[in-house]
Structure 1
């Protein structure tokens, strides 16, 4: 029997993303979030508009989406309740956040140079997606109280780096879902994936059928950079 309820959040479970960006002074910021979804080589990210990460993304128009595995749960949790904003925004003060200038150091993670953006990658993350901000959208702008407080970023991935251990045997460009174990957040708690339940009929469609023009566009980006170097 179903019951009608009014939960404070509707976070039914999505992968954790560590977004790395560049601050105004050239230092690096690193922020965990989980309001994200992908379509092709595009990703939608929902963020509190006043936080440091969206501020950096609005200014630089770039970021790296680093996807941690379950093995990195402790490092991700060390970033909880920290912010790169100084002073700490009032809303985050109420949540118990503190300012942390060295996010990589606080998490015990390593920043490595990206190929197409100034923001660094997280060396320990098995998946690292270099991306450009293509569009920004206000969320809940129809509400006088919420207007301007939540922003959704549409980013275009232009470089995909993955650890070889999660690649499918005999398929250079495919992730093996039986090897990839992303860190999942569900209702503010950390979880991982279990084993495959059964084969999916959707998987009978070749993965190549989902390829979009963004992939060729990413190759052009690489060619332009090689010519400039």
Structure 2
């Protein structure tokens, strides 16, 4: 016997949002300046597959300049408690002079990113840029490829390979696993900061 199920179609509206940051983990990317100091760049565009992490990086910033010259970085992943530290970095660029595009959007030059963010540098094991002590996950990585797409002049697609992963011991279980009940990334959601909600369930491979 066939049961007719009534379906309610939700109302939709065609929109044209200025941004499409519909929820991504925040990254603080450490890169090496030409004088050996370290720049920190907040990022919100990334994805990972296996040991490879792809980053979307603005073409006018210091990070891409540094990576082209010295193809190493640390991908520091903050938790929600660090959102104010991240936001302290947000209006500053390590690029001097400040590119016109950034200047129009309110950015100013500041080189000492650790000082303005109240974060602490610690030495990495395999790369030259420093790790950020407060971030619960710190991934040392080497750049494998940089692509500047011909369809956009605003960003570069940077492919990296993780070569060393550090994690705060309180979020580690069974030696090599991150405990999802204790770890929560800081989420950038349409230019607002969020934490994860409660656990809804597990994937069959969990």
TM-score by length of 2: 0.92
The alpha-carbon deviation at position 202 of structure 1 amounts to: 4.3
Q: Which residue of 2 aligns with 1:211?
A: none
Q: Which residue of 2 aligns with 1:220?
A: none
SS in structure 2 of the partner of residue 25 of structure 1: coil
CA distance in 2: counterparts of 1:188 and 1:58, whole angstroms: 28
Question: Which sections of structure 2, spanning at least 5 residues, go unmatched?
Answer: 1-10
Q: Which residue of 2 aligns with 1:185?
A: 188
Q: How many residues align?
A: 196
**Bigger-Rg structure (1/2):** 2
Q: Which runs of 4+ in 1 moved over 3 A?
A: none
Aligned positions of 1:72-151 closer than 5 A: 72-139=82-149, 141-142=150-151, 146-147=152-153, 149-151=154-156
Task: Name the structure where helix makes up a greater proportion of residues.
Answer: 1
Say whether 1:160 aligns with 2:165. Answer: yes
Range moving further from structure 2, 194-203 or 25-34:
194-203
The alpha-carbon deviation at position 24 of structure 1 amounts to: 0.6
Say whether 1:201 aligns with 2:188. Answer: no
Provide, for residues 170-212 of structure 1, a one-character-per-residue CA deviation record: whole Å limited to 9, x for no partner: x110001110011100111100001101222343xxxxxxxxx
| Cα RMSD (Å) | 1.0
Provide, for residues 135-164 of structure 1, a one-character-per-residue CA deviation record: whole Å limited to 9, x for no partner: 11123x13xxx33x3100000000000001
TM-score by length of 1: 0.83
Task: Name the structure where strand makes up a greater proportion of residues.
Answer: 2
Q: Which residue of 1 aligns with 2:80?
A: 70
Question: Which sections of structure 1, spanning at least 5 residues, go unmatched?
Answer: 204-229
Q: Which residue of 2 aligns with 1:223?
A: none
